């Protein structure tokens, strides 16, 4: 008896406390009335699974501050080598390094351009010169629109980041963070925390179109001129929109294949479920002629996205360091990918006939001069005979 009264009293007190705190919660919540950036850490509280894959992708590490003279921590990145004549103490920010190359910003906020090692390439731990004509310490950092979150250029009223004269603007945080794609999240966070609905027009946005990615992954976004640009006989990087426009995938969106939160370059982490596996393609290409493992374990991506793009380095004359989004394969025995002087890409300028067999098959096979991959030597004629048989 006594025991149950005690329990009842206890429950009554608990209920009172509960009611009391409920009343507190019902006080009108003052949500912010204008939008502002809050940072990805805030989003992590409620969107942990998304945050966890995001921090293993390249987007957030694009621009990193050097603190206490130490190389910034970028996942999966080996030890970088600083440009000749500089130590980490002379560098304020790093640009990239997650994927293909790293560049450096000096003590005054200018790009380091002309000295050996002004570009470091993690792919083979090599060093190059970023720009041989512009003296180091004179080129302003103007790249923030595509590389940072909350970029405001000096022209638009921004102040040089950290007061460094070389910085042509300011940013909230280096790298492409949640709010670079979803817009400022302060009202969303406040409303979700208080469990009230977000006032219309002040929520985060979800843009599922290619236009979102095109802001940074298309070279001439402003004019939408889709002619592929080249440099030194290679297709230039950050032209995925241009490349996709050359083939029947031009109706797909980027997120038709990509998880916008997950890494592509560190696909091996996805434990067999990554974007480079045949699953990406066979979810749409369901007919039996597109069976996997039809050519000694070659994946769809290995044949249909050859590395005809050079971002940091090239490995052979057929292999740069980034795949193209051209997908279509030209099975002619004689079509050439490059102009006779090797200065430009043929399909990009005239016809749109797809990647040629030298670039596709010599990723793995060797040409008559023993140049290419590690598999058997094959002439162009042999390749052409075989190529039309794969999906028969
Ligand atoms: C307190 C928890 C909380 C925090 C913090 C939070 N969110 Fe959310 N978010 C939610 C919930 C709950 C939903 C689902 C709401 C719904 O379906 O109406 C959501 C939905 C979303 C959506 C989808 C909206 C849509 O229209 O489909 C996006 C995008 C989003 N959040 C981004 C963010 C970003 C970016 C941040 C950080 C700036 C963030 N969230 C912080 C709880 C939170
Ligand atoms: C590169 C652009 C980009 C970045 C960066 C980004 N998102 Fe998204 N996010 C998208 C796109 C595009 C979609 C729609 C995906 C779809 O519908 O397949 C999306 C969908 C969402 C959704 C709703 C659908 C879902 O998958 O549950 C939430 C919530 C969300 N994002 C939260 C975040 C958070 C939190 C971060 C940072 C940790 C973040 N996003 C970073 C582009 C981005
Ligand atoms: C229009 C947007 C845009 C502008 C402007 C831009 N970049 Fe980039 N940058 C990108 C994108 C997108 C990538 C990722 C590579 C890709 O998509 O091919 C990239 C990649 C890089 C990388 C390699 C990153 C890595 O992890 O390997 C470096 C270094 C770099 N950019 C430096 C610069 C510098 C320096 C400037 C300014 C002089 C600049 N970029 C201007 C969009 C841009
Ligand atoms: C049909 C599927 C598909 C579509 C559509 C697609 N991608 Fe990809 N993308 C891939 C695959 C697969 C890889 C990995 C290829 C590899 O590394 O061998 C990749 C790699 C990338 C990379 C890293 C390598 C690089 O190119 O520098 C970027 C960045 C990228 N895609 C951006 C985009 C953007 C932006 C769009 C939309 C314009 C897009 N992708 C549309 C399948 C696709
Ligand atoms: C605000 C500019 C910006 C937007 C918007 C953007 N990206 Fe990127 N993206 C970059 C930059 C810069 C890099 C290079 C980051 C690095 O790896 O150092 C990059 C790298 C990538 C990579 C390779 C890095 C990795 O982790 O594998 C993929 C894949 C990619 N972007 C896909 C997309 C897709 C898909 C969208 C649209 C949903 C998108 N991006 C929107 C700027 C952007
Ligand atoms: C979201 C659906 C979808 C995904 C995912 C997809 N495709 Fe496609 N693909 C299509 C459609 C639709 C066509 C056009 C079919 C037609 O018109 O005959 C196409 C056409 C093609 C073509 C012919 C291109 C041309 O211009 O002749 C190739 C090659 C191809 N896909 C390869 C791939 C590969 C490789 C992958 C995986 C990286 C892939 N596809 C992923 C939907 C998809
Ligand atoms: C060993 C290289 C190789 C592999 C691996 C490969 N393909 Fe192909 N694929 C080709 C070639 C070469 C052509 C052009 C054939 C032609 O024009 O007769 C082609 C053509 C295509 C086409 C367009 C023509 C058609 O028949 O519709 C699609 C779609 C396609 N492949 C999808 C895939 C998919 C999906 C995978 C993975 C399951 C894949 N391919 C794997 C070499 C390959
Ligand atoms: C991912 C690597 C890879 C790619 C890409 C690739 N192959 Fe192969 N190929 C192999 C391997 C492995 C063998 C068997 C061992 C050898 O010949 O070195 C082979 C064997 C061959 C053979 C001789 C045996 C046979 O089955 O007829 C021909 C011919 C051939 N490949 C043609 C092509 C053509 C054409 C392409 C481009 C459309 C191509 N390969 C692309 C890996 C590849």
pLDDT in tens, 316-343: 999 999 999 999 999 999 888 888 887 7
Distance 179 CA to ligand 1 centre (A): 11
Rounded to whole angstroms, how far apart are CA atoms 199 and 112?
A: 46
pLDDT at residue 11 tops 60: no
pLDDT at residue 192 tops 70: yes
Distance 229 CA to ligand 8 centre (A): 30
Higher-confidence residue of 354 and 128: namely 128
Distance 343 CA to ligand 4 centre (A): 25
Protein residue with least CA distance to atom 24, ligand 3: 96
Apex 38 CA angle, 165 and 145, nearest 5:
40
- For residue 331, what are the CA distances in angstroms to 245, 335, 337, 357, 368? 20, 8, 12, 6, 18
- Amino acid 8: pLDDT: 46
Is the sign of the CA dihedral 349, 354, 357, 358 positive or negative?
Answer: positive
Higher-confidence residue of 2 and 296: namely 296
Confidence of residue 256 (pLDDT cuts 50, 70, 90): very high
Asked whether 257 lines ligand 4 (CB < 6 A), one says yes
- Give me the percent of the chain exceeding a pLDDT of 70: 91
Q: What is the mean pLDDT of residues 107-116?
A: 98
Whether the CB-CB separation of 171 and 149 falls below 8 Å is answered with: yes
Rounded to whole angstroms, how far apart are CA atoms 336 and 64?
A: 41
- Amino acid 349: pLDDT: 46
Rounded to whole angstroms, how far apart are CA atoms 108 and 90?
A: 9
Distance 340 CA to ligand 4 centre (A): 29
- Amino acid 4: pLDDT: 53
Asked whether 383 lines ligand 8 (CB < 6 A), one says yes
Pocket residue to mutate for ligand 3, from 80, 238, 239, most atoms within 8 A of Cβ: 238
Nearest ligand 4 atom, CA 213: 35
- Which ligand is in closest contact with the Cα of 266? 5
Distance 171 CA to ligand 1 centre (A): 23
pLDDT at residue 23 tops 70: no
- Which ligand is in closest contact with the Cα of 373? 8
Nearest ligand 3 atom, CA 139: 38
Nearest to 253 by CA among 215, 290, 213: 213
Rounded to whole angstroms, how far apart are CA atoms 69 and 62?
A: 18
Confidence of residue 233 (pLDDT cuts 50, 70, 90): confident
Asked whether 217 lines ligand 4 (CB < 6 A), one says yes
- Amino acid 17: pLDDT: 44
Q: Which of 101-105, 233-237, 378-382 has the lowest mean pLDDT?
A: 233-237
Asked whether 375 lines ligand 8 (CB < 6 A), one says yes
Tell me whether residue 103 is exposed, middle or buried, using C-beta atoms within 10 angstroms of its C-beta: 0 to 12, 13 to 18, 19 or more: buried
Q: What number of CA atoms fall less than 13 Å from residue 120's CA on the CB side?
A: 21
Rounded to whole angstroms, how far apart are CA atoms 62 and 44?
A: 19
Nearest ligand 3 atom, CA 221: 1
- Amino acid 348: pLDDT: 52
Q: Which of 34-38, 49-53, 162-166, 354-358 has the lowest mean pLDDT?
A: 354-358
Q: What is the pLDDT of residues 261-295, one digit of tens each?
A: 999 998 877 778 899 999 999 999 999 899 888 89
């Amino acid at each position: 008896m006594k025991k149950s009264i005690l329990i009842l009293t206890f429950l009554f007190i608990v209920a009172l406390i509960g009611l009391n705190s409920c009343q507190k919660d019902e006080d009108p919540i003052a949500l912010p009335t204008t939008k502002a950036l809050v940072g990805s850490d805030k989003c992590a509280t409620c969107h942990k699974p998304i945050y966890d894959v995001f921090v293993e992708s390249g987007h957030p590490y694009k621009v990193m501050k050097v603190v206490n003279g130490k190389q910034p921590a970028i996942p999966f990145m080996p030890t970088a080598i600083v440009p000749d004549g500089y130590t980490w103490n002379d560098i304020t920010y790093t640009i990239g390094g997650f994927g293909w190359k790293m560049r450096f910003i000096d003590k005054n906020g200018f790009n380091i351009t002309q000295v050996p090692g002004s570009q470091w390439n993690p792919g083979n731990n090599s060093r190059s010169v970023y720009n041989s004509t512009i003296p180091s310490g004179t080129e302003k950092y103007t790249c923030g629109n595509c590389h940072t979150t909350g970029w405001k250029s000096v022209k638009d009223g921004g102040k040089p980041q950290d007061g460094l004269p070389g910085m042509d603007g300011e940013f909230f945080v280096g790298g492409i963070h949640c709010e670079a794609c979803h817009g400022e999240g302060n009202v969303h966070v406040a409303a979700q925390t208080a469990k009230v609905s977000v006032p219309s027009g002040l929520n985060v946005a979800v843009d599922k179109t290619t236009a979102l990615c095109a802001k940074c992954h298309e070279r001439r976004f402003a004019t939408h001129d889709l002619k592929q640009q080249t440099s030194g006989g290679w297709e230039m990087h950050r032209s995925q929109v241009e490349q996709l426009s050359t083939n029947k995938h031009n109706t797909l969106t980027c997120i038709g294949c990509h998880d916008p939160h997950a890494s592509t370059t560190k696909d091996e982490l996805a434990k067999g479920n990554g974007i480079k596996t045949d699953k990406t393609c066979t979810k749409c290409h369901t007919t039996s002629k597109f069976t996997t493992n039809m050519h000694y374990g070659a994946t769809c991506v290995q044949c249909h996205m050859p590395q005809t793009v050079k971002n940091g380095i090239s490995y052979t004359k057929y292999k740069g360091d980034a795949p193209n989004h051209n997908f279509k394969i030209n099975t002619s025995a004689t079509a050439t990918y490059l102009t006779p002087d090797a200065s430009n890409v043929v399909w990009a300028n005239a016809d749109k006939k797809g990647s040629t067999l030298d670039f596709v098959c010599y990723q793995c096979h060797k040409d008559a001069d023993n140049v290419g991959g590690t598999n058997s030597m094959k002439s162009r004629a042999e390749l052409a005979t075989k190529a039309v048989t794969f999906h028969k």
